[in-house]
Structure 1
């Protein structure tokens, strides 16, 4: 019979695995909780802290790819570049996550990942203006990528580039994103091979799906609603799930309709403020 390993035992095994991205999704969820707990007590800057942080990043790349998939048709950028931008959001989520809140890391991290990708698309001015720091990093990145690709016989990882360039992984990702600033196309550019011979790029750019935006809002709201007390969550459930009137809610809770109205306004204000802070 194959022995069942504890979370700690699997975590010890993981230290011998060259690529943490090969961990199964089920184990990744369990090990993520374990490494987040370790990260909370380790001293920042130590080798153990860096190992735990890097392992969390590698194990949760699938979350970034999941969030990035919805942006596949948003423009000429390569999907891998979008994923690299999403990794910045993942890193921010890891650094800001609080184990004591008892919120699922998936629900907590998705808004950060999507937010970084959205900011990337908003920063289209990079096609005409790139900070000098990133211009220099872009040249260094190209040289390091060529050197490592020749040496390893494959495309280098962000961690390998970071070590060779003596930069943080966040800075390497920024340099990769900055490279897109030198590749832009006009929306009026003709598309070769089109049936009528007159189609332009703008003809093939679709509009945003409002339903997808709603999914993102649900993910962002989940931890905020989780932090509410039981009565506040009940009020929201009665009003927006069961669609009860304020008078019906007041009768259920033994309070006046006016009191229900004030409570709802206060609750919605807190949630709006929380969403604005997260975004």
Structure 2
């Protein structure tokens, strides 16, 4: 069904009709975006944000899909949606986790600073 709508949208000259067809494809495949977003829940990003990014990926997939080159819309849409979600994680959640040895050294340094501060009555320099 989505493929037929996308084929019709590709040859439609009326921009309003084309947009209506593309919107319909998005609505028909909203559950795909939901499914992809659900795979990334519980990883520190709010669920609503994940859903929004997944829907953005779906809209991009609908607009970029070329029915003349691809046989199956979902085989194009799912990786596109997943890529958008993963890109969002890279942009929002990028942190550097230092090695355990560095974490231990940092903890020992913090403790030493606290002890010196108590002994000296001021921050050590």
TM-score normalised per structure 1? 0.32
Equivalent residues in 2 for 1:242-257, closer than 5 Å: none
- Alignment of 1:61 with 2:30, yes or no, is yes
- Alignment of 1:124 with 2:92, yes or no, is yes
Distance 1:87 1:76, change over 3 A: closer
What is the SS of the residue equivalent to 2:68? Answer: helix
Give 1:39's aligned residue. Answer: 9
- Alignment of 1:72 with 2:41, yes or no, is yes
- CA distance in 2 between counterparts of 1:54 and 1:95 reads 10
Task: Structure 2 unaligned segments of length 5 or more: list them.
Answer: 94-125
Which of 1 and 2 has higher RCO (CA within 8 Å, sep 6+)?
2
What is the SS of the residue equivalent to 1:123? Answer: helix
Alignment partner of 1:108 out of 76, 90, 93: 76
1:54-99: CA deviation from partner (whole Å, max 9, x where unpaired) = 111111111101111110121141x232111111111111111111
- CA distance in 1 between counterparts of 2:4 and 2:30 reads 17
Moved runs in structure 1, 4+ residues, more than 3 A?
none
Alignment partner of 2:67 out of 91, 94, 99: 99
- Alignment of 1:89 with 2:52, yes or no, is no
Structural RMSD (CA): 1.7
Cα drift, residue 102 of structure 1: 4.1
Distance 1:90 1:53, change over 3 A: same
1:137-165: CA deviation from partner (whole Å, max 9, x where unpaired) = xxxxxxxxxxxxxxxxxxxxxxxxxxxxx
